[in-house]
Structures are given as C-alpha cells and as structure tokens.
Amino acid sequence: MNLSTASMQEICRRAIAEDVGSGDATTLAILPPELEITAHFVTRQDCVCAGFPVLQVLFQEFPGAVELEPHVQEGQFCPAGSILGSVRGCARTILTAERTALNFLQRLCGIATLTQRYVQALGDSQTKILDTRKTTPGLRLLEKYAVWAGGGQNHRIGLYDRIMIKDNHRELAKLCGPDAIPRAVQACRKQYPRLEIEVEADTLEDVRAAAAAGVEYILLDNMSDAEMAEAIRIIAGRAKTEASGGITLERLPALRHLGLDFISVGALTHSATAIDIGLDFIS
C-alpha cells in the first residue's frame, strides 16, 4: 500500500497542531536554536517495523532541519533492543517532535506486529488476512498501511470503493419488499456498475441468495467452521469468500485449509497494543 505525501502531510499537520499549538514552551525556553543532537529510535520489545515514511514527513514539517535515517526495512522483524532508526540535527525540532513521532511509530509497529502473528498463524494456507474499517478516525490510511507492512492485505478503504451490503442494509431493504438481497444487488449494479459487490451472509440461505445474484464476494459472518465449509460448497467458486466475526489467533489453524479466500480481522487495528519504543539521545 502506498501512502501519498499529501495524505501524510495532512495527518502530520493535524498531529502537530494538536500537540505543539503555539509552540513548545519548555523546549524553546531551554534549548538554543543552534544546538544539534543525535538520537536513536530503540524498540524495547520484539516488533515488526512500520511508520518511518510518516516520520520522514513529520520532521519535515518543523523549521529546524533534521535528517532521519531508518536502520531497518518497513515490515522487518526487529528483536527487542534493536535501533530502528536515527535522527540528527536541530535539537529543538527533535525534542518537540519526539512524542508525536513515537506515538505514530509505536502505534503502527503494534498493528504490523499483530498482523504478522495472524499471517503466520495461517502457515502455508492460501487464505489471506484482511483488515476492516474498524480504524482510528483520521488515521485509517496509516493503520491500513501498517497492516500491509505486517503482511496482511487491505479490504476496502471506505464506503466509496466497494459495495458492501451488510445486515442492516438487508433488513432495511426488506421494508421495501421481498427478495432483499437480489433487489439490493440489482440496485447497486445499476447505480455503481464499476464497483465490485460484497454481501454479508448470516445464514446459508443468505449465501445461496448472494451467490445466485452474482456478487464478487460473500462475507460469512459469525459462522461455525461447519457452516463455512457448507457455504463454500454452496458457492462453488462463483464468488470469493471472506470469513469475519469471532476470528481469533487460536481459531486460525482450524480455518487455514477450509478453502476460504480471505479472513478479515477488526482486531488488527482496533485492538493492537502499541510497541514500547524509546528515543534515546546520544551524548
């Protein structure tokens, strides 16, 4: 997943405005503008690295010049104690940006690390791990980037780039008449002919209706392993299959050879724990 400079600038500028405001009073009072320093980003925990493209943009938003040098690749596993990167230059800039830089890096490394655990739990399976829209408002692109860095794949970015007929859409469509799924699919095809369509199926009857309607994806929501196996048999290759709901690391070994195309996991972004990373100054 590529992050555009413009999108990263927008996110970084909001973060700087939130934290720095009219100025870093403490740093401006204590440090002279000509002082230059070097500092290392050091992880205190095993992690998968993600976030240095954002930090490159972040430091460029400050007036004092600094040079950021990543020491590892995005998506690389880094044992505790590893130096992830170094920053050199204006002390005022480095100290003022420190907390925001660490907030981004710790959060994104946490998502990438958790994603890699899910990917590894599938072993040699052809099933792919997907993220969801359960992201921090305003940070979706960054968090989905971190999933990609951890070896996962990205689901739709928002409501605009894929049709997804969920349970509430189906229930409200029933108010307009019978055969909610085929009618909803037909309406979406007519209005948005270029978008792929996914239907969330709660039951095997939903699966049959969605497959018959010719959608590209069918999401098997909160189904048992046996129900999903039967759903895959019913679909018979007519649509890509995605499992979601109740997916845990412990459950993945039982699902990896079921024949699913995708497994989507909201926990990758809504429940990932930030990695403990410090910015250590070099004397």
Give CA–CA dist 114/102, Å, rounded. 18
166 is catalytic: yes
- The reply to whether 221 belongs to the active site is yes
Record the tokens describing residue 195, joined without a space.
């978008």
Q: Of these residues, 24, 143, 221, 242, which one is catalytic?
A: 221
Whether 174 is a known active-site residue: answer no
Q: Which of 14, 44, 166, 233 is catalytic?
A: 166
Q: Does the annotation count 134 as an active-site position?
A: yes
Between CA 81 and CA 109 the distance in angstroms is 14
| Candidate list 61, 88, 99, 202, residue with the active-site label | 99
19 in active site: no
Q: Residue 174 and residue 279: Cα distance in Å, rounded?
A: 56
Catalytic residue among 24, 74, 131, 200: 200
Inter-residue contact 142 to 108 (CB < 8 Å): yes
103 burial via Cβ count (<10 Å: 0-12, 13-18, 19+)? middle
Catalytic residue, from 134, 162, 174, 256: name it: 134
What is the residue-wise DSSP string for 53-92?
HHHHHHHHTSSS-EEEEESS-TT-EE-TT-EEEEEEEEHH
As annotated, the active-site residues are: 99, 134, 166, 200, 221
